[in-house]
Structure 1
Amino acid sequence: MSLSLEFVSTIRADRSGSIDLLSDADGMTTWVHEHAADLDVDPGFTATEELREETVRLRQAVRALFARAVAPEPPSRADATDLPGFAESLALVNTCALAAPRAPQLAWNGEPSLVAVPAAPADPSVRVRAALATAAVEFLAGPDRAQLRTCQAPRCVLYFVKEHPRQEWCSTACGNRARAARHYREHKK
């Protein structure tokens, strides 16, 4: 899954309701550590409450852009009514991506490969937001955007990339839940 999809998927739902993996600084620290290579952070990185709040604001902006990208399909039910406006979201994502630009570099460990590194020194919290914003820009400007969908299974709030022409849900579990709900609706009469 792309970093951008992982980022917007930090809002989830389960049987008990909504789950926000970035609900506090500890959760944010854990999530960043799980994605440390993509975010260019040191193993000792610890999120502050200020970084968490700024990152959640960025996440909402990216989710607003995802909502726009899936239109005319409905956006995720998780926060559709709480998303910032399109122009504000676009400006925030672009500003964050510019705050710590990443530059392509050639690495050569037996075979040449492309790596992206910070183009200039920046505070770790700025680098985290910049990497997340850059991932969103690359995803939304790339070929996968055309296949971006909102899972319409009951209680699901995730976005996913449609990988098969008949795919309707983000996972097998959501497909099972949707079919069970449809069966129940059809047979409860």
Structure 2
Amino acid sequence: MAATAFPILGTEPPVVEFANTLYGDGDRRIDFLDTAARIEEWFALVPLDGGVTAPAGVMGRHGERVRAARDCVRALLCAAADGRGPGRAAVERLNDLAAAAPTYPRLEWTPGAAPAVRRLDTVAGAPALLGRLASGCAELLAGPEPVAVRRCPGPGCSMLFVRGHPRRRWCHPSCGHRDRQARFYRRHLARRPT
């Protein structure tokens, strides 16, 4: 059986894309990071903040750790989307993950370009990459510019997204299209004579 494509929106911060690798609710869950090969594939497809990608063969060996980090990040983002406080254990877990990946700022400034800061890891491997994701989650939820993490209201969709525009309602235009189709169908059925 061929693997299902990842639910990558391509417009979201890496931490939101990471959280979306667990799709669905209740009994209809799809774990897109269920094997070492899938974990390797996802980390190769989605560059982390600063364009960092995982070296081949590193993340797949840490499947349980990767999925636990994803579950923690998803729980915190869902709490924010639902407007409720997260569990203390999730906050502590995220802080532990972030602490495992110390980084330092490096100034990059070339003639003719604006100065920029790039964060570099002082450790390598899974802890560094998961720490970057955990740090990204903390900065997304509590950074200087508040962001609105939302759950997609599209029929059957469980994706999270950052609402960067007040009129954005769905994770992807296709969810909006499905929602409009469903409303049209309901209106059409209501007008049919019985």
Pairing 1:163–2:164 present: yes
In terms of Rg, which structure is larger?
A: 2
Q: 1:113-152, aligned counterparts within 5 Å?
A: 113-118=116-121, 120=122, 122-142=123-143, 145-152=146-153
Whether the 8 Å CA contact 2:152–2:169 is kept in 1: the answer is yes
Whether the 8 Å CA contact 2:43–2:54 is kept in 1: the answer is no
**Gap regions ≥5 residues in structure 1:** 74-84
Structure 1 pair 7–144 and aligned structure 2 pair: CA distance change class (3 A): farther
Whether the 8 Å CA contact 1:151–1:160 is kept in 2: the answer is yes
Q: Which has the higher contact order (CA 8 A, sep 6+)?
A: 1
SS in 2 for 1:130: helix
Deviates more, 1:152-161 or 1:35-44: 35-44
SS in 2 for 1:109: coil
Q: How many residues align?
A: 172
Whether the 8 Å CA contact 2:81–2:149 is kept in 1: the answer is yes
Pairing 1:66–2:77 present: yes
Deviation for aligned residue 1:27: 0.7
Structure 1 pair 37–56 and aligned structure 2 pair: CA distance change class (3 A): closer
SS in 1 for 2:116: strand
What do the CA deviations read for 1:122-151 (whole angstroms, capped 9, x no partner)?
A: 340111111111111111112665421110
Counterpart of 2:59?
47
Once residues 162 and 47 of structure 2 are traced to their aligned partners in structure 1, the CA distance between those partners, rounded to angstroms, is 23
Once residues 140 and 187 of structure 2 are traced to their aligned partners in structure 1, the CA distance between those partners, rounded to angstroms, is 39
Query: If each structure's helix is expressed as a fraction of its own residues, which one has the higher value?
Result: 1
Whether the 8 Å CA contact 1:33–1:45 is kept in 2: the answer is no
Superposed CA RMSD in Å reads 2.4
Structure 1 pair 42–107 and aligned structure 2 pair: CA distance change class (3 A): same
SS in 1 for 2:59: coil
**Gap regions ≥5 residues in structure 2:** 1-11
Once residues 131 and 100 of structure 1 are traced to their aligned partners in structure 2, the CA distance between those partners, rounded to angstroms, is 7
TM-score, normalised on structure 2? Answer: 0.77
Structure 1 pair 138–72 and aligned structure 2 pair: CA distance change class (3 A): closer
Q: 1:3-22, aligned counterparts within 5 Å?
A: 3-12=14-23, 18-22=29-33
Structure 1 pair 164–124 and aligned structure 2 pair: CA distance change class (3 A): same
SS in 1 for 2:34: coil
Deviates more, 1:28-37 or 1:85-94: 28-37
Whether the 8 Å CA contact 1:7–1:59 is kept in 2: the answer is yes
The percent of aligned pairs where both chains have the same amino acid is 31
From 13, 19, 31, the equivalent of 2:42 is 31
